[in-house]
């Protein structure tokens, strides 16, 4: 089914029933196998409010066969084509009593292999031995993100809220948005469902209020070539 018109128009779409309960349990099992006795890994972030794994598809490689089932591969192929690849992945585990929240923002950086001075590549950072940089807008505009929901996600346990169509306005500071005149959507997603979104879509997450955890796998995709001096540090090709 073609969802691209809605993704391009609104900046996101929610599609439920992508994974069976068995597939979700298999993904969770692979995560638990790696993390149970290995919480000191440099790509892991653990606090009272959240547990996160950066470079998820590299740290939990056996989960990939369950994540990219036939339904998801068909959605990617039908809506985006066969030439997209993974550029970044993060696992978020928001515990039942989490008071962790994220203010409205855009996803403006990509993960690369090193820092070099290149025109229109700016705002360099380095976290956990990973370089990140803000590329030109045309790269961000062509990328997309898929969020895989391992639990029912509602407004009570920190579902994303987004500003519809905000991805069309380019890179903005939040104080340049008149939120009173914008459409905000709470993106509730069922366990086994996905959300596809554009990186420039403004999104945020509230605190958990219902004592139910929220586990999400966030995977970013691109089909863009970088300048010859740079490489995508987490690049992983897909097989269809």
Q: Which residue has the higher pLDDT, 177 or 133?
A: 133
Model confidence pLDDT, tens digit, residues 178-206: 988 999 999 999 999 999 999 999 999 98
Quick one: tokens of 89? 């992945």
Is it the case that residue 64 has pLDDT exceeding 60?
yes
Which phi and psi angles does 35 have, rounded to 5°? -90, -20
Is it the case that residue 161 has pLDDT exceeding 90?
yes
pLDDT at 188: 98
Give the sheet arrangement for strand 102-105, strand by strand: 102-105, 203-205, 160-163, 184-186
- Measuring CA to CA, how many Å separate 98 from each of 22, 55, 86? 27, 23, 29
pLDDT at 37: 64
Tell the residue number behind the tokens 């339904």, with chain if given: 71
**Domain count of the chain?**
1
Q: Which residues pair with 111 in a beta bridge?
A: 132
pTM to 2 decimal places: 0.94
Band of residue 97 on the pLDDT scale cut at 50, 70, 90:
low
pLDDT at 29: 96
Spatial separation of the C-alpha atoms in residues 172 and 166, rounded to whole Å: 9
CATH number at residue 48: 2.60.120.620
pLDDT at 100: 73
pLDDT at 84: 96
pLDDT at 47: 53
pLDDT at 50: 61
Displacement of CA 40 from its chain's centroid (Å): 23
What are the respective helix, strand and coil percentages of the chain, to the nearest 5?
Answer: 25, 30, 45
Is it the case that residue 137 has pLDDT exceeding 60?
yes
Band of residue 94 on the pLDDT scale cut at 50, 70, 90:
confident
Residue ranges making up the domain that contains 153? 4-237
Is it the case that residue 136 has pLDDT exceeding 80?
yes
pLDDT at 95: 73
Spatial separation of the C-alpha atoms in residues 95 and 52, rounded to whole Å: 11
Band of residue 26 on the pLDDT scale cut at 50, 70, 90:
very high
Q: Can you point out the beta strands (E) in 113-178?
A: 122-127, 130-134, 144-149, 160-163
Spatial separation of the C-alpha atoms in residues 203 and 119, rounded to whole Å: 28
Band of residue 213 on the pLDDT scale cut at 50, 70, 90:
confident
Q: Which residue has the higher pLDDT, 135 or 39?
A: 135
Dihedral sign for Cα atoms in the order 99, 219, 63, 159: positive
Mean of per-residue pLDDT scores for the chain: 92
Classify 29 in phi/psi space as left (phi over 0), alpha (psi -120 to 50) or beta: alpha
Band of residue 43 on the pLDDT scale cut at 50, 70, 90:
low
Q: What is the DSSP string of 1-13?
A: ---HHHHHHHSEE
């Amino acid at each position: 089914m073609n969802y691209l018109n809605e993704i391009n128009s609104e900046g996101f779409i929610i599609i439920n029933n992508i994974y069976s309960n068995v597939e979700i349990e298999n993904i969770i099992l692979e995560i638990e196998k790696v993390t149970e006795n290995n919480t000191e890994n440099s790509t892991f972030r653990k606090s009272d409010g959240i547990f996160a794994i950066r470079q998820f598809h590299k740290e939990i490689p056996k989960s990939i066969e369950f994540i990219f089932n036939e339904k998801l591969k068909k959605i990617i192929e039908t809506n985006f084509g066969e030439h997209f690849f993974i550029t970044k992945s993060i696992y978020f585990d928001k515990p039942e009593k989490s008071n962790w929240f994220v203010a409205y923002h855009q996803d403006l950086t990509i993960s690369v292999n090193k820092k070099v001075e290149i025109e229109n590549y700016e705002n360099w950072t380095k976290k956990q031995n990973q370089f990140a940089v803000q590329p030109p807008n045309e790269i961000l505009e062509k990328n997309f993100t898929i969020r895989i929901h391992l639990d029912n996600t509602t407004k009570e346990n920190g579902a994303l809220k987004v500003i519809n169509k905000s991805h069309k306005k380019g890179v903005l500071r939040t104080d340049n948005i008149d939120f009173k005149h914008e459409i905000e959507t709470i993106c509730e997603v069922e366990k086994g469902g996905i959300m596809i979104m554009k990186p420039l879509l403004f999104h945020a997450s509230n605190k958990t209020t219902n004592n139910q955890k929220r586990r999400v796998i966030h995977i970013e995709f691109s089909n863009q070539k970088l300048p010859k001096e740079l490489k995508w540090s987490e690049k992983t090709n897909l097989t269809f």
